[in-house]
Structure 1
Amino acid sequence: MNLAQKLPSVRGRISENADLSKTNWFQVGGTADILFKPADLEDLQHFLQNKPECPITILGVGSNIIIRDGGIEGVVIKLGRGFAEISHEGAEIICGGAALDVHIATYSAESAIGGLEFLSGIPGTMGGAVAMNAGAYGSEIKDVLVKAELISMDGKAHIFSNKELEFEYRKCGKMQEKQFIVSKVWLNGKHGNSEEISARIVQIKSEREGTQPVRSRTGGSTFKNPPTAKAWELIDKAGLRGFSIGGAQVSEKHCNFLINTGNATAQNIEDLIHHIQEKVLEDSGIRLETEIKIIGRR
């Protein structure tokens, strides 16, 4: 009996040998043994409570991830529309784990709720943003998160406060200790002027488009900024602006962004990351740590 035959009956969609290159912004990677898109929270919990023993990988919108060419073993769970709701109570935003950060910012502006404009500068979903304490334009998730509902691999729901999530720079300690799926998040906004909030979002969009390769196949920021420098400056100083391996290239526009120029493999991108780390270490004595996540079989 293969893995697919052991899976519980669900209302969502299950696909075997699913092409994962269509699920990430680099558009690289192999197949998933199983790709499961739950219909809603109840469907997800039912699946987790009745699944066979197998590896589980959680995938968001694929904005800050490299999926290796060998694909992913076991089940990949990708949340969709059933987890993308956005609402508010007063100045507090309540959103699903699959809600896009930019949609949350736009909804907040339309609702005259400020303080969340920075989300428009973060590609990806709220679930991914919580998992890595994503940030941009002077703010990060830990600054605005009130609490989050996380689902453990046994299907149980847990509510954690901001403090309990143990946020650090580009890290959520709680989600590194144990595997969870972000199902719902509460964010603390503040009442403001809708036009002013919208204007700030437009400004952020303009700044992003002017400084980042937003129209290229990219995974966003590749490396964390070291305490004493900016990653892009170290990469540029090492003479790597525009450097390429296969179809993977250091962006001419922003050195901390790697792009797929058309025919890159995941291995090309991973090799380029290692090359950058070596050259920056030689040039500056600093070992860059990846911000982007690399998953799957080689």
Structure 2
Amino acid sequence: MLTNLETEFTNVKILANAALADYTNTDTGGPADWLAFPTTIAEVKELVVYAQQHNLPTTVIGNASNLIVSDGGISGLVIILTAMKDILVSGERVTAQAGAAIISTAEAACQASLSGLEFAAGIPGSVGGAVFMNAGAYGGEIKDALESATVLTAAGKVEVLTNEELEFSYRHSSIQEHQGEIVLAATFKLSAAPFNEIRAQMDDLNARRAAKQPLEWPSCGSVFKRPTGYFAGKLIHDSGLQGYTSGGAQVSTKHAGFIINVGGGTATDYLNVIKHVQATVLTKFGVHLETEVRIIGRRRDELN
């Protein structure tokens, strides 16, 4: 492992051998060799170039809200973008840096009486993560509001990609196919609407989320994609799996599509629950539940 990253980047917050559990919504995850918290695009570029020059594997994350990091942690450099959280409103456009919370972005739009991001009012992820996976809820998706995204390519170039170039589909964008591409910012094209109407819709959706989702517990959000013709949560419920527990990970009794950390849970616990749910639903209904949550990191036995 390199030992001079901190001295190379004196203006960037750098942590060595830091537990990723402190930065994930599940409160799980092993150590990263290096954690970096850039505040500018220039710093992101410098970190990526340095890592490439030193053959240092690089992983980029935001709020880690729909992510499971293995108990073995992540090799190399992990760049966390949450310090890049500026949001700018200009006319009917809202531009947010990748680390900005999508909730905060939706709120900024609301305050400007701009409609189009109401569906995102309760999504806990970052803008970058939301673009990466075309996040959505309650009938809305990022693709419906996004005009363009600024990305850093694997070649180190900053480019602006249009909505069409991002090739959005259900929980998918073209960025997932381009290894090393990093979302830096996103611009949303919205429409003017009465503030009270926007606020009422956002408040209604947040109330519905609070009533149906286990927001009081650490979780990785919606674990499984919606299978064609089915609802993952209903399949899990009908399989009698609510309350199923492995270690500290449990299928929520409030919403079957969520796996919560009821205390002391590990990434391995989460993965055990996921595998059990997939196997049970496949046996009972012949439906394979594909994970929506991203699972990354090394095994414990790969730790140095």
TM-score over 0.5 for the pair: yes
Map 1:155-194; keep pairs closer than 5 Å: 155-194=156-195
| CA distance in 2 between partners of 1:191 and 1:106 (Å) | 14
Report the RMSD for the aligned CA atoms in angstroms. Answer: 1.3
TM-score, normalisation: structure 2: 0.94
How far 1:179 sits from its partner (Å)? 2.1
The corresponding residue for 2:302 is none
Conserved 8 A contact 2:48-2:58 = no
| Aligned counterpart, 2:41 | 41
Structure 1 residue matching 2:4: 3-state secondary structure: helix
C-alpha deviation, 1:88, in angstroms: 1.6
State which drifts further: 16-25 or 47-56: 47-56
> What residue identity is the alignment partner of 2:287?
I
Give the distance between the partners of 1:226 and 1:296, measured in 2 at CA: 26
> What SS does the aligned partner of 1:167 have?
coil
Please give the per-residue CA displacement for 1:97-138, whole angstroms capped at 9, x wherever unaligned: 011011111111111111111111311101000110000110
Cα distance per residue 1:67-119 (max 9 Å; x no partner): 111110000000133x2111122111111101101111111111111111111
For residue 22 of structure 2, what is the aligned residue in structure 1?
22
Between the two proteins, the alignment pairs up a number of residues equal to: 296
The AA in structure 2 aligned to 1:191 is: A
Runs (4+) of structure 1 exceeding 3 A deviation are: none
Separation in 2, partners of 1:24, 1:288: 23
User: Which digits, 9 at most, give the CA deviation of each residue in 1:139-190, with x for residues without a partner?
Assistant: 1011111110011244321111111111111011233232221111010110
CA distance in 1, matches of 2:45, 2:176: 18
Deviates further, 45-54 or 162-171: 45-54
The reply to whether residue 209 of structure 1 matches residue 178 of structure 2 is no
| Contact 2:154/2:179 (8 A) holds in 1 | no
Provide the residue aligned with 1:137 in structure 2: 138
In the other structure, the counterpart of 1:71 is 73
Task: Give the SS at the match of 1:290.
Answer: coil
Counterpart of 1:3 in structure 2 is 2
The SS at the match of 2:160 is strand
Between 55-64 and 3-12, the greater mean CA deviation after superposition = 3-12
Between 1:152-161 and 1:184-193, the stretch displaced more is 152-161
Bigger Cα displacement from structure 2, 66-75 vs 47-56: 47-56
Contact 1:150-1:183 within 8 A present in 2 as well: yes
TM-score of the pair, normalised by structure 1:
0.96
SS in 1 for 2:228: coil
| Alignment gaps of 5+ in structure 1 | none
SS at match of 2:165: helix
Structure 1 residue 41, shift from structure 2 partner? 1.1
Unaligned runs of 5+ in 2: 300-304
CA distance in 1, matches of 2:119, 2:10: 37
The whole-number CA distance in structure 1 between the counterparts of 2:5 and 2:68 is 28
Provide the rounded CA distance (Å) in 2 between the counterparts of 1:186 and 1:280: 39
User: Could you tell me how far 1:19 is from its partner in structure 2?
Assistant: 1.0
Match of 2:103 in 1: 102
**What secondary structure, in the 3-state scheme, does the structure 2 residue paired with 1:3 have?**
coil
